[in-house]
Amino acid sequence: MYLRFIVVFFLFFYHSFFPFLCEKNKEPLNIAILVSGQGSNMEAILHYFKQPKKQGLIKPCVVVSNKKNAYALERAKKNFVPTVYLPSKIKNGITNEKKSITRKQYAQKLIACLEEHGVTPKNGLICAAGFMVIIHKDFLNHFPNQVINIHPALLPSFPGNNGIKGAFAYGVKVTGVTVHFVDEGIDTGPIIAQKVVPIANDETLATLKEKIHKAEHELYPRVIEQIVYGNMKMVDKTKIDNSSQFMKIKSKM
Ligand code: GRF
C-alpha cells in the first residue's frame, strides 16, 4: 500500500523555526482554520482530532471565512467550533495599490480575530484550507512559520487555482497533494509534506478530484499532528545540498 505513495517530508532546523514547538506540548496547540468554500479539509482535521487517541492534541479555536455563505461555516458550527465571517473587501477591479492597502488592513483584522480566540504566536497554528485570500506579509511576520496551506497538486507544479485540472489536462502520470508553509507568493512556500496520487489510464477529472480530496484529507491532519509532536523539521529550500538531513517522521500514531 505504502509503495503507492511517496510521502516526502522536508525536515529542518525547527528550533529556529518552531520555538513554540521545541518542547513536547502539554497544552493543546491552538488552531485557526481559514476557509472560503466547502470546508472538507477543515472537517477532516476536526474529525481526525476527535478520535479518542487524538483528543487534546489540538484545540480548534476558530474557523474564519472571507465568504459569508461558505458551507465550511455550517460544517464548523456542526462541529461546535466558533466561526467568524471576515470579508476581505479585496475586489477585482480595484487598483493594485488599493489591493495592497486592503490586504494589509485585512491582515490586522485577522490577527486581532485570531488572538481574540486564543491563537497567538506563542501557541498557535494557522491552517489555510481553501482560503482564497492572498495573505499579507504583516500577518506572516506576526506568525512566523506558523501558517500552513494545502494545495491539490505536487508543488512546485501546478500552483494557483487549478491544481487538479491543470495536472489532468497536462497529462501527467502522477500528481498529488502538498502541505506547505505560506509565504508571500502563491503556493511558493517551503514544502512540508507531499502525497502522490497516480493517474490511471481511464481517469476522468471527476475521479481524479475524488482521489485528490481523499489524499488531502489523509495528509493534512497527519502533518498537523506531527507539528504538534514537534517532529517536523525543515530544510531551508535555498540551502538544500547533499549534506541536507533528510527526514524521518517518527510516527506516534
Ligand atoms: C482543496 O482542494 C485545497 O487543496 C484547495 O482548495 C480546496 C478546498 O477544498 N486549496 P475544501 O474547502 O477543503 O473542501
Question: pTM score > 0.95 for this model?
Answer: no
Residue nearest to atom 8 of ligand 1 (CA): 130
Q: Give percent of the chain above pLDDT 70.
A: 81
Cell of 54: 487524538
The pair phi, psi for residue 173, each rounded to 5°, is -90, -25
Residue 79 pLDDT greater than 90, yes or no: yes
Query: Is the CB of residue 83 less than 8 Å from the CB of residue 70?
Result: no
Residue 15 has pLDDT above 70, yes or no: no
Choose which residue among 40, 187, 195, 217 to substitute to test ligand 1 binding: the one with the highest number of ligand atoms within 8 A of its C-beta.
40
Q: Which three cell numbers stand for residue 195?
A: 502525497
User: In this model, does residue 243 exceed pLDDT 60?
Assistant: no
**Grid cell for residue 123:** 501557541
Between the CA of 248 and the centroid of ligand 1 the distance, in Å, is: 27
**Ligand 1 atom nearest to 44, measured from its CA:** 13
State if residue 37 touches ligand 1 by the CB under 6 angstroms criterion.
yes
Q: How far is CA 149 from CA 115, 178, 191, in A?
A: 19, 8, 10
Q: Ligand 1: does its nearest atom lie under 6 Å from the Cβ of 151?
A: yes
Q: Which residue in 136, 151, 180, 217 is the catalytic one? A: 151
**pLDDT above 70: residue 160:** yes
Ligand 1 atom 5 nearest Cα: 130
Point out the ligand 1 atom lying closest to the alpha carbon of residue 71.
12
Confidence check: pLDDT of 25 > 80: no
pLDDT per residue as tens digits for the range 193-234: 999 999 999 999 999 999 999 999 999 999 999 999 988 765
pLDDT, residue 2, reads 46
CA of 244 to the centre of ligand 1 (A): 31
| Ligand 1 pocket member 153 (CB < 6 A) | no
Please name which of 33, 91, 22 lies closest in space to residue 62, comparing C-alpha atoms: 33
Q: Can you list the alpha helix ranges (DSSP code H) found in the chain?
A: 14-17, 40-48, 71-78, 96-116, 137-142, 163-170, 205-228
Cβ of 129 closer than 6 Å to ligand 1, yes or no, is yes
Q: What mean pLDDT, rounded, does the chain reach?
A: 86
- pLDDT-based confidence at 239, cuts 50/70/90? low
Whole-angstrom distance, CA of residue 170 vs CA of residue 164: 10
User: Does 151 participate in catalysis according to the annotation?
Assistant: yes
The predicted structure's pLDDT at residue 187: 96
- pLDDT, tens digit, 9 for 90 and up, residues 106-158: 999 999 999 999 999 999 999 999 999 999 999 999 999 899 999 999 999 99
Residue nearest to atom 14 of ligand 1 (CA): 40
Burial 159-182 (b: 16+ CB within 10 A, else e): beeebbebbbeeebeebbbbbbbb
Residue of 94, 127, 81, 89 whose CA lies nearest to 108: 89
